Amino acid sequence: MKELYHGDCLEIMKGLQEKTIDMIYLDPPFLTNKKHSLSSRDRTSHYSFDDLWACHKTYADFMLYRLIEAKRILKDSGTIFIHCDKTANHILRLVGEEVFGQDNFLSEIIWSYKRWSNSANNLTPNHQNILFFAKTDSYKFNKIFTDYSETTNIDQILQKRSRDAHNKSIYAREDDGSVVSADEKKGVPLADVWEIPFLNPKAKERTGYPTQKPILLLDRIIEISTDEGDLVLDPFCGSGTTLVAAKMKGRKFIGIDSSLDAIELSKSRLETLVKTESALLTKGRESYINADEKSLAILSGLDVLPVHRNAGIDAILKRNYQAKPVPIRVQRENETLYEAASKLSAAARKKGAKIAFLVATRKAQDLIEMKFDDHIVQIINSPALEIGSFIDEQWSKQLLNQTG
Ligand SMILES: C[S@@+](CC[C@H](N)C(=O)[O-])C[C@H]1O[C@@H](n2cnc3c(N)ncnc32)[C@H](O)[C@@H]1O
C-alpha cells in the first residue's frame, strides 16, 4: 500500500477504495487568508503554503467536496477529526453536519495550550478546535481515563453513590449506616478539553513546517479512535505529524499533501522517528513549580509575578530597574546563603538584570557568606530573620552590660 501521495487530496481520495479507512484526521488551511511560511531551525529548508480564499463560500465548497470524499472512503465504524480554529470553526461545523449528519457530530475537542503573544486588542488565543464526527452510530471509540483532579473529594472516589427518594444523588449506606465502598475506579473518563503544550521553537520534533502540530495531540486522537493495525488517513498531512504518530503506535497510514516539500519532509520524518515528550504531561503541572510554599508566602504582599521553570529565580518584580527585570529569590531551608546567592546571580545575569534581591532566611554561616560580594545581588533579611537578629543583638548587649 502506498503511504504518501503528492497532489490535491480531492483527486487522491477519489482514487481510494470506499469503506477502507478507520480514521481520518485533517488539518486543512484555516481560512486565515495568509501565506504561511517558516524555515527550519538551521535555516537550510524553507516551507510555505497558501491559505488564501476569494470568500467564505469558496472555502466552504472546497471543504464540502473533500469531506464528501472522506466520508465515502471511511469504514462504517470510522470517525473523522477536523482541526480548525475560531476563523473557520462555524463553517466547518455546518459543512461537517451537512456531510455526516447532525446526529453524527460527537464532540468539539478544545486543544488548549499556553502561548504568550501580544494580542493587541483582544484575548490571547490559547486554544484550537477539533470537530469530531462519526460516519454512523456504530463507530469505534476507545474509552481512556485520566487522573482525578487535585480538587476531587476522596469520598467521591471511594464511596458508592445511590439515589434518594427525590432522585438526588447521595452516598450509599448499609442498613447499619456504614458507607458502601465504590467499585474499582479507573480514573476520570477523558473530557473534551485537552491541555497539550504547543511545540516550542526548540522542541526536538519541530521541523520548521508552518502550523506543525505536536505528535502528543495526534497520539490521543489515534488512541481514542483506532486499534493497532487500523488504517489512518491525513489528507492535508503537512510535515507528516499524523503519520509519525500512527507509525509509532503501530497503525497503518496514508498521507496526502499538495506540496512536494511537505511530502519529502514527511518521508524523512517517517525514516527517523523523533518525538518530544512533555514534562507537563508526564510529570504534571507541579514539576514546573520550583518556588516552594514558604518562599511564596514570604513574597506575598510584594508586587511580584511568581515565576516557575527557573531554578534561580522565584519571582520578578512588576517594576523594572534601569529598563531591566528585577529577579527575586528566597533562600531555601536546605541551602546556604552563598548557594542561594550564586544561583540567583547566575540566573539574573542570564536575564540581563541590573539588580536582583535575595531574601535571606538564615544568618550567614561563615566568612565566605558574610563577604559575599556581587554587583547584582542585594541581600535583604526576611522579617523573621530581621526580628530574630534584633532580639539576639539586644540580648547580647544586655549580657555584656551585666557582666561588665
Ligand atoms: C495546516 S497544514 C497541515 C500541518 C500538519 N498537520 C502538520 O502537523 O505539519 C495544511 C496543509 O494542507 C496542504 N494542502 C492545502 N491544500 C491542499 C489540497 N487541496 N490537498 C492536499 N493538501 C493540501 C498544505 O500544503 C499544508 O501542508
Ligand 1 pocket test, candidate residues 236, 263, 266, most atoms within 8 A of CB: 236
238 pocket-lining for ligand 1 (C-beta < 6 Å): yes
Average pLDDT of the residues in 245-262: 97
Q: For residues 49 and 247, which has the higher predicted lDDT (pLDDT)?
A: 247
Instruction: State the Cα–Cα distance between residues 233 and 236, nearest whole angstrom.
Output: 9
CA–centroid distance, 262 to ligand 1, in Å, is: 8
- CA 142 to chain CA centroid, nearest Å: 22
Ligand 1 centre distance from Cα of residue 239 (Å): 8
| Tens of pLDDT, residues 20-53 | 999 999 999 988 888 888 888 778 888 988 888 8
pLDDT the model gives residue 241 = 98
* Lowest mean per-residue pLDDT among 67-81, 170-184, 222-236, 361-375: 361-375
Which of 7 and 46 is assigned the larger pLDDT? 7
Ligand 1 lined by 208 (C-beta under 6 Å)? no
Output the CA torsion sign for 205, 211, 216, 220: negative
Looking at residue 232, what is its pLDDT? 98
The answer, yes or no, to whether any atom of ligand 1 lies below 6 A from the CB of 213, is yes
**Average pLDDT score over residue span 347-367:** 85
pLDDT, residue 257, reads 98
CB of 82 closer than 6 angstroms to any ligand 1 atom: no
Strand 327-330 with 356-360, pairing: parallel
Quote the mean pLDDT of the chain: 88
Q: How far, in Å, from the CA of 114 to the mean position of ligand 1?
A: 24
Report d(CA 349, CA 359) in Å as an integer.
Answer: 18
Q: Is residue 59 within 6 Å of ligand 1 at its C-beta?
A: no
**pLDDT tens digit sequence for 193-226:** 999 999 988 889 999 999 999 999 999 999 999 9
Average pLDDT of 158-164? 78
Grid cell for residue 8: 490535491
**Residues above pLDDT 70, as percent of the chain:** 89
Please state the rounded mean pLDDT for residues 382-402: 87
Lowest-confidence pick of 105-109, 112-116, 211-215: 112-116
Strand partners, 321: 324
Residue 298 grid coordinates: 514570604
Torsion angles phi and psi, residue 83, rounded to 5: -85, 130
> Which pLDDT value is given to residue 95?
98
Ligand 1 contact via 49 beta carbon (within 6 Å): yes
Q: Which of 120-134, 320-334, 388-402 has the highest mean pLDDT?
A: 120-134
Across 380-397, average pLDDT: 88
